[in-house]
Copies of this chain bind each other. A is one copy, B any other.
Amino acid sequence: MTTRNWTTRADNRAARLARAAQALGSQLRGKVADAAAITELLEAVIEPKDRVCLEGNNQKQADFLAQALVQLDPQRVHGLHMVQSVLALPEHLDVFDNGIAARLDFSFSGPQGARLAKLVSEGRIEIGAIHTYLELFSRYFVDLTPQVALVAAQAADAQGNLYTGPNTEDTPAIVEATAFSGGIVIAQVNELVDGATTTLPRVDIPADWVSFVVKAPRPNFIEPLFTRDPAQISEIQVLMAMMAIKGIYAEYGVQRLNHGIGFDTAAIELLLPTYAESLGLKGKICKHWALNPHPALIPAIEAGWVQSIHSFGSELGMEDYIRARSDVFFTGPDGSLRSNRAFSQAAGHYACDLFIGSTLQMDLDGNSSTATLGRIAGFGGAPNMGADARGRRHVSPAWLRAGREARAGRGGAAGTPRGQKLVVQMVETFREHMQPAFVDRLDAWQLAEQSGMELPPIMIYGEDVTHILTEEGIANLLLCRSDEEREQAIRGVAGYTAVGRGRDKRMVENLRDRGVIRRPGDLGIDPRDATRNLLAARSMRDLVRASGGLYQPPKRFRNW
C-alpha cells in the first residue's frame, strides 16, 4: 500500500497562502497586498532553495519586487534558484551578492554581463545554463518549474485579474507554468482598479492564475531597447543595407522575417520605402514580421510595405502609433498592443524565412558569438531564430531556394530535399575600437574554459548561418561545398582584418566567379550611391513626422 502524499505541491501552496494571510493581517485584502508589507509577503511565501522566476524581460522589469527581494533577511530566505529571461537591473545580481540566491538559469544579461562574469569567477553564483528565450520558457514546463513567480503588469482589479498592456512579453508563459503547478504568483502593478466603478481595459491574465497583487510605489521600469536614432546610421550601414535588400531579400523573395536589434537592420528598415521601392520590390518582400514595434519601421509601414507585425514586447513611445495602426499590429479590444514573447519566438522560428542580426565575433567556420572575455552576455532570441527550423514542413519560395542551394549535388540523407531558413550575420569587419569582427578563435572558447562550461557559448553556429554580409560583400555559405571553401568565403568578405588578409586570393576570386562571394559591384550597387540621403528618415524628428505625430519618443531621444 502506498502512503505517499500526492498533493504536496497543493498543500504547500495552501500553507504559503496561510502564512501570508497571517503575516499580513489587514494589510492583505483578498489578493491585494499593501506595498508596505512586501517584505512580510515575500518572506511568508518564499522558502529557502525555492525556484523563483523574477520577471526580468527584455524590456519590462518587475523592479519593485526585485528591490524587495534584495531586502529580505538571508537568514530566512536564501539559496534561491533564480530563473529569468533577462538580467537587466543591479538587483538581479545583488541577490547573489547577499546570499539570497545561489543558482541562475537565464537567457540574456546585456547590461549586467561584466558583473555576472565576475560573480561567476568568484564562485558566488552557479550558472545552470544560458538559454534562448523559448527554450527557457519550455523548461518552465519540464524541469525548471518555478515555485514562485514575481511579475509585473500595468494594472490589476480587486479580484486579481491582470492587464499587462502593450508589454505582455513573458508574463503569460511565466504565470501559466507557475500557477498550474502549485506555485505562487505575485504581480506588481502600476494601478489598481476596483473592478466595479473602474474596470481593466482588458484582461490579459485571469485572476485564477494570480495569488497576490501589489500596487508598486513607482511604475515598473521599461527600457526602450529597440529605438535607434537614424541620425547615427553611417553610410557604410546604408551600403550594407542596400546589399541585404538587393542581394538577399530580393534574390530569395523574403516575405516573412525577423530583424535583430541594431543600426544595421534599422538601416534596412529605413531603405524599404526609398531604395527598395526604386527596385520595384514593394509587395514582393518584407510583408510579414515577427518584430518589436521598431520606430525605424514607421516609414515603411506608412508607405504600405507592411501587412502584419507580431511583437515580442512593445516599445516606449509607440503606443499611440500602434493604436492608430491596428491593421498592422496585434491589438486588444482596448486598442493597445498585445505582445507575447513565447508566440513571437515560435513565429520567428517556424513562420519566418529569414533572420538577420549582428554579432561581435565570427570564426573561420562561421560560428559567431556575443560572448567575449570578461562578459557573459547571453543570447536572447538569436539562437532560436538564427537556427534552421528543422521541424518546419510548409514551403515558401525563399525557404525552398535556400534548401536547394544547400543540397545541390549532395547524396544520401544530406541530399534529401528540404528547405532551409535564411540566417544572415551582418557585421562591419571592424567594430568599435578597431576590434576585428573576424577572428581565428572565438573568445567563447576561453570563456568556456574559465567558467567551466561544457560547451563554448556560441550564439549562432556556422552550420546554421547561410550568409555573411560585410561592407566588402556577401558570402553565401549555402553554396560552399567544403570546409576550405567556407573558410575562404569568410576570409573573402573579412576586409582588412587579419582573417581577411589571410585569404587565398585565387580561391576567393574563384568563389566570386561562382557567385559564392558577391561584391557591391557584382550586385549592381555603386558604393557612391550609398548616402544617408537614401534613408526614409534621417533623424528622430523625421520618424515622428512620418508617424503623423503619433510616435512620441522617450526624452533621451529628443533634442528639440
In the complex, whether A22 has a CB less than 8 A from a CB of chain B is no
Collect the chain B residues with CB atoms within 8 Å of residue A10's CB. Answer: 326-327, 331
Q: Which residues of B contact A395 (CB under 8 A)?
A: 129, 454-455
B327 & A143 in contact (Cβ 8 Å cutoff): no
Task: Name the one of B181, B418, B454 contacting A330, with C-beta atoms under 8 angstroms.
Answer: B181
State whether the Cβ of A208 lies closer than 8 Å to any Cβ in chain B. Answer: yes
- Min CB gap A160→B, angstroms: 11
Residues of B within 8 A of A206 (CB): 161, 202-204, 206
- Report the bound CA distance from A5 to B344 in whole Å: 26
CA distance A392 to B255 in the complex (A): 26
Q: Per-position contact with B for A475-507: 1 when CB-CB < 8 Å, else 0?
A: 000000001001100000000000000000000
Contact B132 A392 (CB under 8 A): yes
A264 within 8 A of partner (CB): no
**Chain-B contact segment, one of A225-233, A238-246, A348-356, A510-518:** A348-356
In the complex the two chains form, is A462's CB within 8 Å of B416's CB? yes
Give A140 Cβ to nearest chain B Cβ, in Å: 8
Query: Quick check: is A388 within 8 A (CB to CB) of the other chain?
Result: yes
Q: Does A130 contact B (CB under 8 A)?
A: yes
A342 in complex: contacting residue of B129, B343, B487, CB < 8 Å: B343
Whole-angstrom distance between the Cβ of A105 and the nearest chain B Cβ: 8
Contact check, B392 vs A350: say whether CB atoms are below 8 A apart: no
Cβ of A137 within 8 Å of any chain B Cβ, yes or no, is yes
Determine the chain B residues whose CB is within 8 A of the CB of A197 once the complex forms: none
Given contacts A206-B206, A325-B6, A327-B7, contact A393 B129 (CB under 8 A): yes
CB pair B455 A417 closer than 8 Å: yes
| Complex: chain B residue closest to A323, CB-CB | B7
A394 contact from B129, B256, B350, B483, Cβ within 8 A:
B129
Task: Determine if A416 and B463 form an interchain contact, defined as CB atoms under 8 angstroms apart.
Answer: yes
In the docked arrangement, what's the CA distance between A139 and B396, Å?
Answer: 12
Within 8 A of B (CB), among A162-218: 173, 176-177, 179-182, 202-204, 206-208
A463–B393 touching, CB < 8 Å: no
Q: Does A51 contact B (CB under 8 A)?
A: no
The answer to whether A327 and B418 have CB atoms under 8 Å apart is no
Note all chain B residues with C-beta closer than 8 A to A8.
Answer: 327
User: Contact between B203 and A400 (Cβ–Cβ < 8 Å)?
Assistant: no
- Check B387 against A135 for contact (C-beta < 8 Å): no
Q: How many copies does the complex hold?
A: 2
Q: Which of A42-50, A69-77, A95-103, A302-310 sits within the interface?
A: A302-310
Of residues 400 through 420 on chain A, the ones whose CB sits less than 8 Å from some CB of chain B are 400, 411-419
A553 CB-CB contact with B under 8 Å: no
A41 near B: Cβ within 8 Å?
Answer: no
- In the assembled complex, the Cα of A2 lies from the Cα of B349 at a distance in Å of 34
Contact with B along A500-539 (1 / 0, CB 8 A): 0000000000000000000000000000000000000000
Cα-based distance from A343 to B383 in the complex (angstroms):
18
CB–CB B327/A135 < 8 A: no
Nearest-neighbour CB distance to chain B for A15, whole angstroms, equals 15
Q: Is the interface of A mostly helix, strand, loop or mixed?
A: loop
Inter-chain contact B129/A458, CB cutoff 8 Å:
no
Give the size range of A's interface with the partner.
Answer: 35 or more
Q: Taking CB as reference atom, which chain B residue is nearest A107?
A: B393
Which chain B residues lie closer than 8 Å to A433 at the CB level? Answer: none
Within the complex, the shortest CB–CB distance from A517 to chain B, in Å, comes to 17
In whole angstroms, how far apart are the Cα atoms of A365 and B418 in the complex?
Answer: 14
CB neighbors of B among A362-404 (8 A)? 365-367, 379, 383-395, 400
**A348 and chain B: residue at smallest CB distance:** B138
The listed residue (B135, B142, B400, B416) touching A391 by CB distance below 8 A is B135
Distance, CA A271 to CA B521, complexed state (A): 66
Q: Does A300 contact B (CB under 8 A)?
A: no
The 6 tightest CB contacts between A and B, nearest first, are: A412-B483, A129-B394, A413-B462, A203-B206, A387-B390, A138-B350
Give 28 pairs: A residue, B residue, CB < 8 Å, sorted on A: A7-B324, A7-B326, A129-B393, A132-B393, A135-B389, A137-B343, A137-B346, A138-B343, A139-B347, A139-B350, A141-B343, A141-B346, A142-B308, A143-B351, A176-B340, A180-B332, A202-B206, A342-B343, A349-B391, A366-B413, A367-B413, A383-B393, A386-B391, A390-B463, A395-B455, A413-B462, A413-B463, A416-B461
Binding site for B on A (CB under 8 A): 2, 4-10, 105, 128-132, 134-135, 137-139, 141-143, 145, 161, 173, 176-177, 179-182, 202-204, 206-208, 255-256, 287-288, 290, 302, 304, 308, 310, 324-328, 330-333, 338, 340, 342-344, 346-347, 349-352, 365-367, 379, 383-395, 400, 411-419, 454-458, 461-464, 483, 486-487
Task: Given A142-B310, A413-B483, output 12 extra A-B contacts at Cβ < 8 Å.
Answer: A10-B331, A105-B394, A138-B349, A141-B310, A142-B256, A142-B351, A173-B343, A365-B412, A366-B413, A367-B416, A413-B486, A416-B461
